[in-house]
Structure 1
């Protein structure tokens, strides 16, 4: 991946590649946690708000993939703005892509309060992959799916190809103790 500095205004393609691969497309609303407690209703590529900005519910109308991409880009732009506002150290495009994907998944509040952000702003970029790894819990329980996503984001932060990072994460991580070398 190129070593270009991120302009702070765009959503790098690598960010949307990760989200599309990890979330998958769903035309109808679904509970992202299945039958387990703590789920959030989502649609498209994991968006939690419809085109009007209302929370997704079981009765939210189905959408097309074109509509889902529009919602994804809307939400990714918001995550990119959050990263641009919070991160005070210059980012390479691939570093921004990883942080935008992370923020899209976890939200601005997680970014704002994270040790990862504090370390990033202190110039400790090398700490980011390990800090990303810490964010694998849902309702206090670590999940392999979130570990895979965090590994893929960490790999992208380090400049790895986003498609290969996602493929490797799902191929090489089978349990919570796995964290392959990049």
Structure 2
């Protein structure tokens, strides 16, 4: 069955699946880096801005899962618009889902200045997974959790089912040296 093309307006379901699976749901604000420096206060499924447009802080009120899903829809819609504005080539739904998840995590500014975008817009889609792998640092230090996320996004970009990609990333990546081959889509 041929891959479905992304309509450049909607958020493909695979994007939301991967973000929900990777971020997890938290009703109370939490520092996404624990006690280590460089964290960002988030709530819900990794949202950094509350429903009133204010940055999430330790004093942000708890939210329900329904509220978290609404914030996720809002934020994923913004990431989808960033991808649609910056990517000039057709994308399949899986490719768009992977890029939207990446952009949700790293922001449209990082997408716009990435070599990944240059390659993508130059019709070099095969170079995208390698470029995704480069974005695993927080405060200048590579993190295994970010490597797993980037591998899952790269696998989804390559056509792998999003849940399977997430499961495989957490199952097969234990160190910063790991980057398994992608299974056949």
Q: TM-score range by the shorter chain?
A: over 0.9
Displacement of 1:2 after TM fit?
Answer: 5.4
Alpha carbons of structure 1 residues 66 and 2: separation in structure 2 relative to 1, 3 Å: farther
- Corresponding residue for residue 125 of structure 2: 125
Alignment of 1:3-152 (within 5 A): 3-152=3-152
**2:95 alignment partner, SS class:** helix
**2:27 alignment partner, SS class:** strand
4+ residue segments displaced more than 4 Å: none
Displacement of 1:4 after TM fit?
Answer: 1.2
Structure 2 gaps of 5+ residues are none
Work out the CA distance in 1 between the residues paired with 2:89 and 2:150. Answer: 21
Displacement of 1:90 after TM fit?
Answer: 0.6
Work out the CA distance in 2 between the residues paired with 1:179 and 1:106. Answer: 20
Work out the CA distance in 2 between the residues paired with 1:2 and 1:147. Answer: 29
Structure 1 gaps of 5+ residues are none
Work out the CA distance in 1 between the residues paired with 2:58 and 2:153. Answer: 30
Work out the CA distance in 2 between the residues paired with 1:18 and 1:67. Answer: 18
Work out the CA distance in 1 between the residues paired with 2:177 and 2:133. Answer: 11
Aligned length: 182
Alignment pair present for 1:159 and 2:125: no
Work out the CA distance in 1 between the residues paired with 2:172 and 2:3. Answer: 27
